[in-house]
Amino acid sequence: MHLHSVIQNVTQTLVDHSDELTALDQAIGDGDHGLNMRRGALAIQAKLKELSGQDLNQCLTAMGKTCIVTIGGSSGPLFGTLLITLGKELPTNPSRQELSLALRSGIVALTRLGKAQVGQKTLLDVLDPVQTVLSRGGDNLIERVRLCALDSAAATANMEAMRGRSSFLGERARGHVDPGSRSMAIIIAAICDTLSPT
């Protein structure tokens, strides 16, 4: 895995989708999610040279801290905590099973931080099914993880929001994709696209 390429692709993909993420958040939130994620992505891009000299654990931790400092609202702590947790849990060259276990630890950390559960229209509704796919392994795993992330984010449109500002909308949040879930899916899909042999 070329870590530099993964980081560059993920951050640029977030920048490219910032308008979409903002539009999603305008429908059910504060309307600033896309701008916040763009700010965090650009901050990480600005540190690419520095990150290139670090191993996977150091890199994930540094990116997590950058997210916490630069991404506004609740997203900074959530995405930052996930990255920092993965940085603590993952070995330098993780196997599929090790990645699955580390992601499970990340889900536990986010559940504790955000007091949210799967099914409440949050990024957990992407991370949890993706972790399940990873844990089972099998053929075409990268593509199945990618599709799982994108489909799971789209499925949040059918959920009633239970956390965050969108929870105040109740049933009116139905029909709208959760912005944090969409961001998470974009990140996972970009990673998969970079790692795909095609």
Q: Which of 195, 156, 180, 177 is nearest to 73 (CA)?
A: 180
Domain topology for 3-195:
1.25.40
Q: Sign of torsion, CA 17 151 10 33?
A: positive
pLDDT score, position 166:
47
pLDDT score, position 168:
41
Which has more confidence, 189 or 31?
Answer: 189
Q: pLDDT at residue 179 above 70?
A: yes
Mean pLDDT, the chain, integer = 90
Residue type, 190: A
pLDDT score, position 74:
86
pLDDT score, position 169:
45
Q: Sign of torsion, CA 19 25 26 27?
A: positive
Read off the pLDDT of residues 94-146 as tens digits, 9 standing for 90 and up: 999 999 999 999 999 999 998 888 988 899 999 999 999 999 999 999 999 99
By the 10 Å C-beta count (0-12 exposed, 13-18 middle, 19+ buried), 5 is classed as exposed
For the chain, the domains span: 3-195
